[in-house]
Structure 1
Amino acid sequence: MQKKKTMPNQDETLLLHINEAIATVRDKHSLFKIVTTKLRLIFPFDLIGINVFDAELKNKRIFLRDYYGEEEVPPAQPGLPNAFSPIAGSPIEQLVADPRVQQLTLLGYMGQYPDYEPFIRMKRLDIVQLTAVPLSTGGHLTGFLLLASRRKPDLSADDEKLLEKIGSLIAVAVANTLAFEEVARREQERTLQLNITNALLSIKRREPLFRAVAEALSQVVSFEYFGIRVQRAGQGPAFQAFAEFSRTGPRAPLAALGPDRDKDEILANEAGIHQQNTALMQAAAIYSGPEFKALAVRYPRLRYVYEHYHTRALLVAPIWQRPDGAAVLTLSAARPDAFRPEDLATVLALTPQIALALENLFAFEQIEELKAQVEQERTYLVDEINTSARFGADSGAFVGSGPALRQVQLRISQVAPTDTTVLISGETGTGKELVARELHNASPRHARALVKLNCAALPASLIESELFGHEKGAFTGAVERRMGKFELANGGTIFLDEIGELPLDLQAKLLRVLQEKEFERLGGTKVLHSDARVIAATNRVLADEVAAGRFRADLYYRLNVFPIELAPLRERREDIEPLLRHFIQRLSKRLGKPPRQVRPADLAALQAYAWPGNIRELEHVLEQAIIVSQGLFLEFGGFAAAPPGLAAGAVSAAGLAPLKTLKEQERDHIMAALQRTGGRVSGAQGAALLLDVNPKTLEARMKKLGIRRTVGVEMH
């Protein structure tokens, strides 16, 4: 490199131009384009580079690098300066040891550093000479200006002094530019924080909130994938995705990665956040180039994205690590130099706000869930009051003092304070629902709802939706999201009546809820948790159902933890008289009738009757008698004439005639009901309503007993 012939005033003009550029131009690249252009007028060179040092003179990085007319060595990408690297072990350490204007031959320099990549590239460009100019401000070395040429320079002592002056000016320019960049970075960071804060205050749903965060972050950090994942204690071993976005190009909009993306996308966007390499995500770091490749060899998930999605850089910023879970933000890109330490610092500066956003989301979602649950409970309880007014403490379930009833009360007192699953068995009308209510009311869960579901009252296609709820659009007619009974009973009790009627496919799903306390709504993917105590009831012998293959053995054993068996009324004859008094007083008041007495003969007949419908049937018989009676005593003529079982029972009590079997009594009772309804089984005027049983249950009993619907015609 040979200095062009200039006059002293030309040197002063050069210094003046450089000084003026430093004072007026703030854009880094515009400033140094002016500086290098002016400098080239006096000192011809083919390559210029500026290295800047940290305050301790231990690390360096390229601040500016320009190649003139050389396409085979591309310039560094604007806005992405290289990260700091150690001075020790590099050619720069010799310059730092002797900070003055120096002229060096490339071959001589390469002899000491033969593998130094920049020197190898310079040699391919036929560079032969280097001129190093120290950059100092306030007497402190801040970097070096390097001028490279294909010709040997001819520099005088005055030329070296001029270069020293130029170096001082460029040092000021570099310092100013770095200061401007830092101010701009901080301003950009403050703007970003403000944008995120505004989003945090105004957006209350996950995807829109984190899309806003990702879009704001993309203004200062270049990436192809953005992910926030959270693991909360007790919610599975793997991280749960709360926000995932990707883009196909530098300016392409962020696209949300939903739960229905294909398997390859799921694997690609795991970005190493998997239970087998969770430790990798516990420290803030940038992994790029060979380091990321080494991690890809070690971790299968990273290897997948390395090979199939050409990921070459990963930025990891933990949001929190604590006993109740962890949260991490990750960015990934295909360029190895995509992320700088400044980028990591920017992301880490935002993690407190992102942590607050997560906590707010959790709180807001919990509030919304609780509001929905309270509203559902309110609606449910209003329905309960309207439809179940005849049940409760005055229903007669615990009227009496016989040994069978005392045993039931003992069992209730033993198990009520616990969360143990209870299976109540007994014939229709023995008061299984009332026992369930007593269990709930005597439990620590009494302040929450007792949620009921009759498994025989709904078609199989609707039971699953009733149990677990459904999302909007899950099936035809699902116009909105609906909470299921298990979700509604969270913290309370769920009573599954006629559990023996539950279809086999739903039995498996119910078993999962009992074992894992978790389920999904129909049409949903979110795993929900329910802390509901389960009480089940059946009028079937479930052990026989298991043997017949109609009921799962594992579900039976899971339900039959604490059995309570209710005796039929025919085995509680000592309780019939107190039950009569109880129902007469309550029903007379409700019907607006005066209380009437029961004749001794009628009492004996009622006590002798087998009561296949149990307490429910007794209540209905008394209600009918109260309605039709006019004198001082209750008239049971209609009852005595219609059910042959009662007449036979009365004769048996008086004349010691043989008693009919229970099957015969039940058959006669159903026949009497069919006679009253003209053979109709279901509907408002049907026998099922009269007997207070499910129509399907009645039809099954009729088939078993050989009874046809047509009155007076029997099957044998």
Structure 2
Amino acid sequence: MKKAQATQPKSDAPSVLEKERHILLDLAKDITKVREKNDLIVLFTKRIRSFFEFTHTIVTLIDHKDETYTPFLLDNERSPIRDHSAYQGLIKAHFNLNEPFIQEVLAADGPISFYLEDVMDEPKSPSFLRVNYERGVREILMTTLWHEEKPMGFIHIYSDNKETFTQEFRNIIKGITPQLSVAVSNIIKNEELQKKEAEKSYLLDFSNDIATVRNKEDLALSVRTALAKMNSLNGYVIRKINEDGQTMSTYIYDTTLSIQDDSLLQEVLRSKFPINDGLQNRVLNSYIPLLFNVDIEINRGITSKYLQLWKHIGFRNLVGIALRHADVNLGILWLNTDEVNIPLIQGICAQISIAMANIISNESLVTKTTQQEVLLQFSNEIAGVRTKSDLEKAIVKVLREMLDTKLAMLRVFDEDGLHLTPYIFDRSIFANFNIDFDKMASVKIERSEIYTAQVMKSREAVVFNVAEELKREDNSYALLWQKTGFRNMYGALLTVGNSNIGTLWLLADHLDPAILKGICSQIGMAIANIMANEKLLVYKQQLEQENVYLKEQIKNIYNFSDIIGSGEQMQNVYRLMSLVADSNSTVLVLGETGTGKELIARAIHNASPRKDRLMIKVNCAAMPANLIESELFGHEKGAFTGALERRIGKFELANHSTLFLDEIGEMPLEAQVKLLRVIQERELERVGGKETIKVDVRIIAATNRDLEEEVKAGRFRSDLYYRLNVFPIELPPLRDRMEDVEALANFFLSKYSKNSGRNITRISARALQQLHSYLWPGNVRELEHLIERSVLMAQGNTLQEVYLPKKTDANTAAADAFDKTLEQMERDFIISTLKRCRGKISGPGSAAEVLDIPGNTLHSKMKKLSISKSDYFKN
């Protein structure tokens, strides 16, 4: 590229050098005082022009990120192009750093000059060259400003003749360039500091202003004022995330904008836009402001109405910033602007977010207070409701006075769960129309009816817009709603817990969903209570009997932990229990008195699917023969002398549960016949009654008798025996599971020590030996009572002695005496005794003591009968 040559000075060299030195010294002193842009321009113009003539000068700065350079310092007073039509565009323009003209300046070792006519028409040459030429400028001198070995800008010096930039001038500019670079750098830093201080001051003022915000209107005013101060009031809107968390709606917007199509604006203001529309979700997911071009987004396929509104208004570029408070997204600020001061706009949005969160919280608090007031008054109105008419008055009053709505219909489900019957309605709704509403309201509807079906599917209230429903083909209901003048019909399901009570239909322009939900909850509860009260009048006696019985039975509930036994025989019992527990099969528990038959019955019930209901117990031996039938099956009032009221039998109480028939072997024959029928047919009739009552009862029977022998003797019906003997479980006597004696004794010791307030923690070895040497004719029950007695009589924290009953034939008799010789019987008896005494031959609690013979005699007999340690003692 062609460049201008320096003209040579006519004076001698020493005087020129002295002049340059003097100029440089003066300029260096003055440059140190430069702080503002104008200071540098004034200094440059005043000092340099006193020695050399030129038209004007500017300084441009390099933006390395964009690879451009832009005007920074302007000589507006002397610039010949300041009235040119292109001037305003030039001072805001970004010129390409990679074009040949400026690249030659960057490559030069010092100031370099060009004749404008030679370079202004070269390809890619900057437009400011021609504009200056058009205003008489003929030559330009440029030099690069450096900072930390990196180019930061350029000095442009213009002249209207071609003889201005002598070598002397160039030397001065080259000499002063380092000081000018430092001055420009200081100005930039000072401007940055001033800008940050201004931003801080601006944010502080905005913070103070927004601290007084209490409602949405205050926030709108503060935002408008703040944006106007930063020259960004070109249009804005704040959108808030709705309660559904899926959509956003307009919260506040710039009301100063002039919009011709008001219908489009109103549509956007009313609409809810999905968050995931391809635009809003991008902003909410970003932690920095995002710049969008309206046309580009529309061309991308974003069809949201608000984009069309922005285009209609004339918005080109918008910045979207997420409004967050404590990492929770509240909404978005959309700002119509081409440039973004990210730190400043983020600071503004942080303040807006705090104010917005406070307003939302306050609005929520006010709403909740209003809701609570309405619900409290409604609650007070229906608190004393006992009848349907009372409930109707309460509902109609609250709906009219507090919610400006009317009760169209309240229906309740029939017992079949398929139909709904009108329960309460407001006749005044159609009072001014020729409509027989009573007749229409008396018709039952099915739950499959189109509107009812929609309400049934939703757990929230369903809003039916009357205008929209009129568009349906079958719009008979909508035509009826239209006559009332209300815009919406609200349908809600009335429930109590998981039970559907009915449906509620309200006509209104608008209802708060939370209030409606609360009202529905209370109405549902009130209806349920009214219905329950009506049923209570019918079943009062039954419930009273059940309540008394259940209170008595609660005291006797046992836990699985009460079953103690780890021996082989008890393990077999556990196995049988686990096999039968999940079924509905009848169980017959057999065993001697005191073996724990009721405990086993309760364990089977508690492990069955019927465990959520109490097991009902009947002691067949404890009831007189003439009352057992009434006890089992119940009786009607007047069925016999003394039957003053209806009585619910144990079978009905045990419906869907378990009936435990204890001591079944004691039941009279005449009662056995009816029991058999109930077990077979699963139905019964109360004494003196004619109604057949279906029951679902699982039978567990228990007896200490040999029912087969009872059947042979004619004291027990064989058919009933076979019905009961479906799954027999025989409990072993305690003498046959002596390995469990110690565990049982320790359990009862802990139980009765606690009950009596004693601190007995262990049983002595001597006492345990006593327990093992006894045959326990009364089984576990006898052991329990003996431990209880011994605890009461014990001293200290160790049970030293168990007060066993005196010896009798019952606890010294040998078993299995048939088909054996006298010697075999004697040998087996001694071995059995040694086993019970844990191999102890002599001393307290020994086999010799049990056999009542000296220890030496027992040794002699053992030797004679070949009894070895392996016969009675297992390792």
When normalised by structure 2's length, the TM-score is 0.41
| TM norm structure 1 | 0.49
User: Radius of gyration: which is bigger?
Assistant: 2
Q: Which has the higher contact order (CA 8 A, sep 6+)?
A: 1
